Structures are given as structure tokens and as C-alpha cells.
Amino acid sequence: MLPSAPLVRGAIGLARWLPPRAFRALGTLTGSLAWLIAGKRRRIAGENMAHLAHTIAPIARQRMARGLFRHMFEDATDLFRLPSMTRDQILALVHTEGIEELTRLHAQGRGVIVVTPHLGPYELGGALLAVLGLPVHGMVEEIYPDTNSALASYRRATGMQLLSRNTGLRQLYRLLKEGSIVLLVADRVIGEGSEGLLVPFGDAMRSVPTGPAAFAIATGSPIVVGHIVRSQSGSPRYLLHVDPPIEPAGHDRVTLTRLVAARFETFIRQHPDQWYVFQPDWHPRDPGA
């Protein structure tokens, strides 16, 4: 659900002079309006909730779906503020768990594949790693080139480098061999010809990419699963959690992909109202899955 390039540039400009609290309130209002007018995405959000939170009452699922739109636009206000934020301001937004695993692997000179779902302001997680001095390279979609060009200003603001999904695969291998950290958003298959694997998600199944597992096996780089969501305390605003690394040795592509997807499913089912995916890719659950 990407905004147009002019809207992105306008929002980044607005974030420079509007007080943070007022800008976030604008995000809350925009999210509430989006819920009212985005009929197709509202239906998809409801379908997502039905699969991920099928054990709770329909009225509660509807409240969660409505909250998802509000959360998404509120989170976006923090992303649009990144170019005008200081290092200390970014660090003050996020509490971290397990990030020592990444710093340890980097200190050993190993490349690391960090995978995350479209959960919470996931790009803020990459920004945080970059301001901590880690060499982070994020792979971006190129479905909407003009919008992605506009988004690049906040994505690069903290020092994170960007790789094109269309042209950066060879570079990704080199970066991993050189000891860099590559950030991949890997909970849905993008583009024709991309290989996916059906995995259990809630009471159904969805297709996830096998590319991260293939990169890990080819380079010997560990996979680290992470996610960023709103903290329960509200201060700091977000919680960035990093799992222990999964070493590729002894795993094939399918097994490794399933291990990652199982962690994704756990995170997403805990926070379905922060999962910003609007692609209807549900399949009946395999009885043997």
C-alpha cells in the first residue's frame, strides 16, 4: 500500500516543520480515513484477521483491522521524520532485544542475512541498525520506481544502503562474503519467476520466498529473524526483537525457509494488527502441514 511519489515528498517535507505530536495525530486521522475509503484493502485486512485471529469474535477482529490502518499511518509518520531526526532521537524511539547477536557476528567478520516480515515500521529497524554503525544494505522492491525514488530519501537518511531487487542479486552475494548485513523483507513472493513455498500461516497457508535460504546456503551466512512492533509500555515507542542466528549448515532450502516462516507466523499472530500486507494469497491448509 505505497503512496504516490508526490505524497511521499510532501509528507517528508511536512515532517520537517510540523511538531512530532501533531504529525503523528495527522497519521492517526489519515489512517481512520483510509479505513473508510479503502474498500478493497479493508476487505483484505478483514480476511487476514479471519485467518490469523480466527479464534476470537468477529467484532474483535474488525476492531483489529480498523486499528491496523491507524497503526500503519502512525508508523509512517515516524519513517517520514527520519531525514530530520538525530541519531539520539532515533535510538530513543526503539528498545532492542537480542541485537548483541548481530554485533557479535559482525565482529567475527561474517555476513548476515536479516529477514523480517512486513510487520510494524520494519524500515525503522534497518535505520536503527545503521545508526548503530552496522553496515546495513536493504533490498527494495521496484514495482513503483517513482515512489521508491521518493522513499529513498528516508531510507538512506541513517546510512542504510539500498539494493535493487532487479539488479542487486550479484552484489548481495558479494556483500555477504565481505561481512555486510543484508536486510530482506521476506513474507511474500514478489515478481514473476520468484520461487515461493507454501507454509502454514494461521488456519491456512501462504507462499513465502525461498531466496533468503538460497543466499544463506550459497554463502554460508547465518539467517537472523527479527521484527519491530509497538512496545507494550509505549516508552520507548517500539520494540526491536532479534532471534538467535540460524546457521544454514545441515539445512536444505525448504527446511530453512520453513524455519524462518514459522518464526514469522509466530510474530504476526501475536501482532496481526501491525502486519501491513494487502495481497490476498491465502490457500487451504494442507492437513499434513
Q: How confident is the prediction for the chain on average, in pLDDT?
A: 92
3-state secondary structure of 97: strand
- The single-letter DSSP state of residue 14 is H
Please give the pLDDT value at position 185. Answer: 95
* Ranges of residues in the chain whose predicted pLDDT is under 70: 1-2, 142-145, 166-167, 191-194, 287-289
CA distance 138 to 136: 7
Please give the pLDDT value at position 90. Answer: 95
pLDDT single digits (tens) 52-94: 999 999 999 999 999 999 999 999 999 999 999 999 999 999 9
Please give the pLDDT value at position 191. Answer: 67
CA distance 216 to 114: 10
**234, 226 in Cβ contact below 8 A?**
no
**238, 93 in Cβ contact below 8 A?**
yes
For CA atoms 269, 273, 274, 278, give the dihedral sign.
positive
CA distance 84 to 14: 11
Please give the pLDDT value at position 138. Answer: 92
Please give the pLDDT value at position 177. Answer: 93
- Tell me if the pTM is above 0.85: yes
CB atoms within 10 A of CB 289: 11
> How deeply is 144 buried, as exposed, middle or buried, from its count of CB atoms within 10 A (0-12, 13-18, 19+)?
middle
Pairing of strands 136-140, 94-97: unpaired
Please give the pLDDT value at position 167. Answer: 67
> How deeply is 287 buried, as exposed, middle or buried, from its count of CB atoms within 10 A (0-12, 13-18, 19+)?
exposed
